[in-house]
A and B are shown apart, each in its own frame.
Chain A
Amino acid sequence: MSEKKPALWLRIFSFLAYAYIYLPILILIIFSFNTQKINVRWEGFTLHWYEVLFRDSNVLLATRNTLMIAFVSTLVATLIGTMAALALQRYRFPGYTVTESVLYIPVIIPEVVMGISLLVFFSLIKFTLGLTTITLSHIAFNIPFVTLVVRARLHGFDKSIEEASMDLGANEMTTFWRITLPTIMPGVLSGALLAFTLSLDDYVITYFTAGPGATTLPLRVFSMVRFAVTPEVNALSTLWVMTIFVVLLISQIVQRRQVQH
């Protein structure tokens, strides 16, 4: 589209829209430093709620669980999801279209449906709900996203550099490790990043597959938020938001660098 300067009303509207997106988060962060416990009015600056947070053993346990689930599910989903992306982009095999459509199911269906279907599945095979079932479920919804992202990257892949490598005497394995993988690596990494954040963020599917014992950060935050508004939740949210912002900014900078070179 053209680069003509947008109309004034459009610029004002967009500014307000960005304010609408960021204001709630800003308020959340500011009030994490508030001395007042019921968190109604600003009273004064304190880091007390961060101290409370770091002593809350439930939160620490939930953080550990969340990170563990996110790491394992990202690792598995990235590995086999990338393999599937390579297969779908480069080969024709029996069951191709079926696989392609099945990959879209977790992307499209409402989360609540996927959650209850996994709950029914695990209880039918008498698999006790816990961290294992959460991880298995996270792998299931992460695979399609990894495959989609990596496929998009493979789509613009110039096959002639692979052919050049083979012409120069490299075998298929060497070509894959030295040429193909480094080229699609940015796609694999952004797929992994997407999978990791999806796993960190997930409440609905975790809620149905967690069982009574296991807890993750989203589950913990939900139960904290449900009945009371305390600055401790603000402190937790602030740390969470900051972590995600920093990780995303770094990944953006890294990606820009790669494009430039």
Chain B
Amino acid sequence: METPSRRFSLTRLLRENSSLQGLALVSPTAIYLLLFVVLPMVLIAGLSFLTRGSYGNIVYQVNYSNYARLLDPLYLRILVYSLGVGAATTVLTILIGYPLAYFIARAPARQRSLLLFLILLPFWTNFIIRIYAWIMILRTEGFLNTILLNLGVIQVPLNILYTPTAVLIGMVYEFLPFMVLPLYTSLEKIENAQLEAAADLGARPFRAFLRITLPLSVPGMIAGSILVFIPAMGMFVVPDLMGGAKTMLVGNLIRNQFLTARNWPFGAAAAMLLMILTLVFTLYYTRKAGFGEEVLI
């Protein structure tokens, strides 16, 4: 007789207490993410302060040298190189993506969603397939060389594949939509009246662009830069497939420490470094522009 009445009161409690309802709805997600996202991150943080044993095992001994080792010229060079590749990728995606986003934002309203959809469409397909397409084009006996040789532009095939240039081409191709989308979002918001006001006051179109459009699109540019720069530094597949073994980014370093060199504590320290960089950039952006959800999707 006890149980039915208790169950009754529990459902009533749930019905009347809205914060309990919210908790009940959110708890599966909260517990899942706690277990499979937060806990693994905490483990990486802890692991980065432990020591590698002589067989690649982990010795539970506190050790700060993993972080000191990141400053070793060998690894410092990888870090600087990754920052460079990340920055170059970001700048190139802005140079290509800005005019493109501007073009879409100025297109007739009916066409905009179609033009945007066409940007995104290829990027819903697998990214290794997209890299493979570029390998076909860039390799020595590939599509590009065949065309250039036949046209007589070059006499000897170009060696582009397995160079840093190839890595950049692949990276820009992969990350372009992540730049176009937030840029479009901020460009589309600009009111026509603002540009007309500038024109009425005698500003030439180019001047109006510099003084109004460009400043107002800065939030989109920053959002896009974060969405491009951070994943670019952690990328290891493009360098693997298009850069030969020569190009090492932080992503490659982390992967190698976990899977080939078997120095998990050092790999964890490198991963922590990448996470800290991510946090710093994201927090900077959140302060600057506010984190819009429409920018992320």
Q: Which residues of A contact B (CB under 8 A)?
A: 1-4, 6, 10-11, 13-14, 17-18, 20-22, 24-25, 27-28, 31, 38-41, 80-81, 83-84, 86-88, 90-96, 99, 102-114, 116-121, 124, 136-137, 139-140, 143-145, 147-149, 151-152, 172, 194, 197, 200-201, 203-204, 208, 217-218, 221-222, 225-226, 229, 233-234, 237, 240-241, 244-245, 248, 252
Q: Which residues of B contact A (CB under 8 A)?
A: 15, 18-23, 25-26, 28-30, 32-34, 36-41, 43-44, 47, 96, 99-100, 102-109, 117-119, 121-122, 124-137, 139, 141-143, 146, 173, 176, 187-188, 190, 192, 195, 230-231, 233-237, 240-241, 251, 254-255, 258, 264, 267-268, 271, 274-275, 278, 282, 291, 293-294, 296-297
* Distance, CA A74 to CA B275, complexed state (A): 27
**Chain A residues, Cβ within 8 Å of B188:** 1
Which residue of B is nearest A80, CB measured? Answer: B28
Cβ 8 A contact of A10, one of B44, B103, B240, B296: B103
Which residue of A is nearest B103, CB measured? Answer: A14
**Chain B residues, Cβ within 8 Å of A11:** 103
B43→A124 contact, CB < 8 A: yes
**Chain B residues, Cβ within 8 Å of A109:** 275, 278
Count how many pairs of residues, one from A and one from B, have CB atoms less than 8 Å apart in the complex: 263
B19→A91 contact, CB < 8 A: yes
A197→B251 contact, CB < 8 A: no
**Chain B residues, Cβ within 8 Å of A149:** 297
A111→B234 contact, CB < 8 A: yes
Cβ 8 A contact of A2, one of B28, B36, B195, B297: B195
A91→B43 contact, CB < 8 A: no
Cβ 8 A contact of A92, one of B19, B136, B251, B255: B19
**Chain A residues, Cβ within 8 Å of B109:** 3
Which residue of B is nearest A42, CB measured? Answer: B146
Which residue of B is nearest A66, CB measured? Answer: B126
* Distance, CA A149 to CA B125, complexed state (A): 20
Q: A39-B136, A87-B25, A152-B294 are in contact. Are A217 and B195 (CB under 8 A)?
A: no
Which residue of A is nearest B119, CB measured? Answer: A21
Task: Give the one of A86, A121, A148 with max B CB within 10 A.
Answer: A121
A93→B26 contact, CB < 8 A: yes
A143→B241 contact, CB < 8 A: no
Cβ 8 A contact of B107, one of A6, A99, A110, A241: A6
A226→B241 contact, CB < 8 A: yes
* Distance, CA A200 to CA B123, complexed state (A): 12
Q: Provide 6 A-B residue pairs closer than 8 Å at the C-beta atoms, listed in order of the A residue.
A: A24-B173, A93-B22, A104-B291, A218-B128, A225-B128, A237-B126
A112→B33 contact, CB < 8 A: no
**Chain B residues, Cβ within 8 Å of A83:** 25-26, 28-29
**Chain B residues, Cβ within 8 Å of A201:** 124-127
**Chain A residues, Cβ within 8 Å of B133:** 24-25, 27-28, 237
B36→A221 contact, CB < 8 A: no
B36→A121 contact, CB < 8 A: yes
Q: A27-B143, A203-B127, A233-B132 are in contact. Are A110 and B234 (CB under 8 A)?
A: yes
**Chain B residues, Cβ within 8 Å of A241:** 122, 125, 129
Q: A95-B30, A117-B41, A121-B39 are in contact. Are A152 and B19 (CB under 8 A)?
A: no
Which residue of B is nearest A201, CB measured? Answer: B126
**Chain A residues, Cβ within 8 Å of B135:** 225, 229
* Distance, CA A41 to CA B99, complexed state (A): 35
* Distance, CA A206 to CA B138, complexed state (A): 28
B129→A40 contact, CB < 8 A: no
A28→B126 contact, CB < 8 A: no
